[in-house]
Amino acid sequence: MKKINFIALCALCIPLAAWSVDGVAILKKLDRNLEPESYESYRKLINIEPNGNKKEFVLYSVKKGKDQTASLFLQPSSDKGRSTLRQGDNMWMYLPSVGKPMRITSLQSVTGGVFNNADIMRLDYAVEYDVTSVDESGPKLILPVDIQAYASSGMLLKTLHFKDIKDFGGGIKRPATIETDSPLYKDYKSVMLYSGLKKRDFADEVFTQGFMPRLEELRK
């Protein structure tokens, strides 16, 4: 089970009167506030160990609609050319040394940090999450700066923290930083930094296994 806790994020607040209190509608509004339905972006993922050691990855990512995402690894040099693809619940990783896509799971991590593959290849929150409650006590609809993910047993798996509101242009204003921590990985932390996020349309071919070795062609 995945649960969203709603707390103040003023840059994304909208008047409560403009919405019926519908959890699905709230998440759809959140999705479009955070990013266009189809877009490209660059992301830096940083894994931080308890002793302060860091490992960094740079990815070029594209998304189309609600359930198609693909990413190309640009750094480090040892991972350059590696790519990932997600179509709904199905995920693949392409390694140039192997020469063909391999299936991966949502709970694995292609970067080895606290972010799992579902976080790195995220679909819309309205697709991935259910709202368990909405606080109607204030005059505005409050959107999340923290998202807590729970197992079906009720155990907290991780918390995502949204920070650093940035105007990316084109009407896109959203947190540029997402941090995550987990009681399962004590004192470990992973950070995701967004840049170059902008609307862009893509052909369906981009989100196929055959295109995974060719994602570099999309960069301009």
Domains assigned to the chain:
2-218 (2.50.20.10)
User: What is the rounded distance in angstroms from the CA atom of residue 96 to the CA atom of residue 131?
Assistant: 40
Q: Does the pLDDT value for residue 142 go beyond 90?
A: no
Q: How confident is the model at residue 155 (pLDDT cuts 50, 70, 90)?
A: confident
pLDDT digits over 25-63, tens only? Answer: 777 777 777 778 899 999 999 999 999 999 999 999 999
pLDDT digits over 79-95, tens only? Answer: 999 999 999 989 999 99
Among 70-74, 126-130, 177-181, whose mean pLDDT is lowest? 126-130
User: What is the rounded distance in angstroms from the CA atom of residue 186 to the CA atom of residue 183?
Assistant: 5
User: What is the rounded distance in angstroms from the CA atom of residue 78 to the CA atom of residue 97?
Assistant: 11
Token pair of 36 as six digits: 């266009």
DSSP string, 175-220: EEEEEEE-TTSTT-EEEEEEEEEEE----GGGGSGGGGGGGGGG--
Q: What is the pLDDT of residue 148?
A: 77
Q: How confident is the model at residue 19 (pLDDT cuts 50, 70, 90)?
A: very low
Token pair of 100 as six digits: 């063909």
Q: What is the pLDDT of residue 133?
A: 56
User: What is the rounded distance in angstroms from the CA atom of residue 60 to the CA atom of residue 41?
Assistant: 6
Alpha carbon 184 to its chain's center: 20
Q: How confident is the model at residue 138 (pLDDT cuts 50, 70, 90)?
A: low
Q: Does the pLDDT value for residue 219 go beyond 80?
A: yes
pTM flag (> 0.85): no
